[in-house]
């Protein structure tokens, strides 16, 4: 009798496992078909996707750590065309980010965020130089949400300089 109960429990667990697997498969199909989502897993993906300002309003998911050693980047989002999308770092780290723009304002991985979101992202060994509104994650943040992020390295500028964010204010102050 005890053997029969064990078999019954195992069958029940098998049914649940199959159901969860099917639901997970369906979720993956939905994500793959979502044309508003960009998946980034390499430095090449980063350069291709993030240099195109039409992508700055999309959902972006980082699926691996990225080393940008030797690649000088421009900030994602400007005051004229801010980042309004959602960036999920998934707990990954971007290493060796270099932005050298000593005469520019709104300098950081994200130059200007307007109501966008950046989560679960680490930046390690950054070298970021700007003039005003300079930060590791964002130079200027208008009503955006930045959570579970960190920055290590060097962030330099003249006014409104911070390791994580140079200047953050309400979205209503965006002009």
This prediction has a pTM of: 0.79
| Half-sphere exposure of residue 87: CA atoms within 13 angstroms, side-chain side | 32
Count of alpha carbons within 13 angstroms of residue 12, beta-carbon side? 6
Alpha-carbon gap, residue 56 to 147, rounded angstroms: 18
Measured between alpha carbons, how far is 136 from 128 in angstroms, rounded to an integer? 7
Q: Residue 84: count other Cβ atoms within 10 Å of its Cβ.
A: 17
Q: How confident is the model over 60-107, as pLDDT tens digits?
A: 999 999 999 999 889 999 999 999 999 999 999 999 999 999 999 999
User: In which residue are the tokens 């300089």 written?
Assistant: 161
Task: Spell out the domain ranges in the chain.
Answer: 1-33, 37-173
Residue pLDDT, tens place only, 117-138: 999 999 999 999 999 999 999 9
Name the average pLDDT for the chain.
86
């Amino acid at each position: 009798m005890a053997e029969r109960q064990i078999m019954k429990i195992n069958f029940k667990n098998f049914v649940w496992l199959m159901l969860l697997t099917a639901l997970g498969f369906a979720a993956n199909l939905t994500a793959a078909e979502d044309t508003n989502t960009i998946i980034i897993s390499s430095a090449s993906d980063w350069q291709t996707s993030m240099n195109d300002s039409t992508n700055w309003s999309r959902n972006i998911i980082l699926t691996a750590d990225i080393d940008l050693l030797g690649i000088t980047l421009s900030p994602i989002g400007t005051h004229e065309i801010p980042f309004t999308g959602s960036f999920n770092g998934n707990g990954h780290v971007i290493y060796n980010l270099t932005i050298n723009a000593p005469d520019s304002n709104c300098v950081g991985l994200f130059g200007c965020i307007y109501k966008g979101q950046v989560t679960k992202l680490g930046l390690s060994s950054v070298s970021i130089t700007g003039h005003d509104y300079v930060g590791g994650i964002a130079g200027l943040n208008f009503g955006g949400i930045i959570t579970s992020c960190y920055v290590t390295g060097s962030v330099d500028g003249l006014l409104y300089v911070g390791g994580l964010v140079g200047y953050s204010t309400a979205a209503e102050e965006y002009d």
